[in-house]
Structure formats: C-alpha cells, structure tokens
Structure 1
C-alpha cells in the first residue's frame, strides 16, 4: 500500500508542469519581468534594484482592483521619495488602449504595462488583485491577495519596514 502511494505521488509530481514550481515564493528572488509600459518605457526588474517594489497585478474590469488603486497611488506619493516604486501590471489581454484610458482616468502616478502569460505564470496568479512586495535586493518579501483594509494596512506596514532596511 505504501509503495503504491509513493508511486502515485511520484507520477502526480511528473504530471504537474515544471512552470508550476517556478511560482514566485516568499524569500526567493522575484521572477524576471520584461515589459513595455503603456507610455513606451522599457521595464525590467533591474530598473528597480535598490528600491522596494510593489507589483500590482490588476484588471480594469475588477472591482476590488479598482478600489485598491487609489491606495497604491497614495503609497507611491507618500513613500516614493524614501525609495518605494510601484508597477502596475494589467491582465486586460489585448486592450492596451483601454488600459491607457483607464490609467489616464485614474491618474496613476506609476508605470503600467500589460502582463504577458509568462509573467502571470511565474507569479502564480490565482486571483485579482494580487500584489507582490519585492525588497531592495530583488527578493519576494510577501504576496497579498485581495484589497481589504487589513490587507492594505499589512502591506503598508511591510513597506515601511523594508524601506528602513539598508
């Protein structure tokens, strides 16, 4: 019986795509990002080395995402001079103009780009909004899902802590 269980688990592991194991994990280096912002700027993780980075995965049609965006804009305004950077990655597939209009209407103060499928897989997106906080060394500090007040407070507390680190 035990041998069957071990064999079944081994076969299950083989059946799971390798990309499932590459998902961004707390304490591990953040997966690479190479995108072009809606304003035409080339963006990669290297742009943010030495900064605390908040990556917001959102969609324009997602009500909790829309509610969290003003908080992210405020965080960027409040902590930007201390070394915080925010990057919005939209999951609105193929609707770059719609995203541009949304960004202009909400008066984003940080860059936004469309997230390709590879980035979505690497960051293991299961729900929206999902926010990753990356430390100054490029390590995943935490992943936050949802936009509740408690989540936003925890995120801000972590950001303050990471900004205070050398």
Structure 2
C-alpha cells in the first residue's frame, strides 16, 4: 500500500508534535550512563526487564507503527538480529502506539518481526528522553548506554552495525 506524500508529511508532523513535549532534564540519558530500568510485558505476554539482557549487547528501538522512518528501519534491525543473535545481540522494540496492543500485534505479524516488542509506558519514554522517532539506544553488555541513534538513514544504520560488532567483541 502506497502512502501519499501528504499523509507521510502529516504523520511526521504528528510524530514530532507528540514527542516535542518537554522532558525533564534529569531524564535525558547520556552516553556512558547506566541504561534506565525497563519493566514491560511483551505483546506475547513475556515479562521483560533490563536484567533479562545482562551480558548481552542490547538494541532498544523506540518506534511507532504509523511512523514511516520507523517502518523502514525495522527490516534492518531484523537483519541485525539474524546476523548477530548467536554472538550475543538482543533487540527489544518499544512501541509508542499507546493503547493499541492488538494493532501492534497485527503489525508484528505482518512484518514478521523476529524480536520481542512491548508498549513503552510514558515513564519509560520520559526516562529515555524521547524527542523523535525512531530513536535507538545501543546498550553494552554491562548495561551502559554506548550510543543513541535518531533517524534511520543508511549512514546511521551502518554506524550502528559497526558499533554493535565492536561491543560484541568486548568481554
């Protein structure tokens, strides 16, 4: 299904306006800091916390099903998951589609997403200081934020993969 240029623009404006709300300055996570706690239940019913990912490199993808750049980045994340999962990479999708868990489940099925997805609470969004979509945090095996990526350009995706390889090689 093709999305008209106007609809894409309207969705992008909506995404930016929702995320342009003020975020407390103490909540903005910086590179080198411990990743804020996460406590969610996946769309398949699995409880998930940050402790589930100790010893793994974790990619946290904040996205929305209605966000065109988010939708475009998901196939790349699925490829990363297939390519590096056996080496210790884990991916967690956190959807900002509030109150639409069935819609998110349908989206997961239609895209055949191969990693867990949960709905991101307002608290998690604030803790991670979300300002735009997509936003991806890469967390080291020690639970420290290694980098934050915004947007889904090819360059961003290449840089992210390079960082993941480096982190996977660390003890």
Task: Confirm whether residue 82 of structure 1 aligns to residue 79 of structure 2.
Answer: no
- Does residue 47 of the first structure (1) align with residue 52 of the second (2)? yes
Unaligned stretches of 5+ residues in structure 1? 1-16
- Is the CA contact (8 Å cut-off) linking 2:42 and 2:48 kept in structure 1? yes
**C-alpha contact 2:23 2:129 (8 A) present in aligned 1:** no
Taking structure 2 as the reference length, the TM-score comes to: 0.86
**Residue 63 (structure 1) shift:** 0.1
> Do 1:20 and 1:121's aligned partners in 2 also have CA atoms closer than 8 Å?
no
SS in 1 for 2:137: strand
Structure 2 distance, partners of 1:126, 1:53, is 20
Instruction: State the TM-score, normalized to the length of structure 1.
Output: 0.89
- Structure with the greater alpha carbon radius of gyration: 1
**5+ unaligned residues in a row in structure 2: which ranges?**
1-21
Partner of 2:33: 28
Match of 1:159, SS state, is: helix
Q: What is the distance in 2 between the residues matched to 1:105 and 1:157?
A: 29
Report 1:1-166 matches (<5 A): 19-166=24-171
Q: In the aligned structure 2, how far is the partner of 1:46 from the partner of 1:156?
A: 23
Cα RMSD of the aligned pairs, angstroms, is 1.1
Number of residues paired by the alignment? Answer: 150
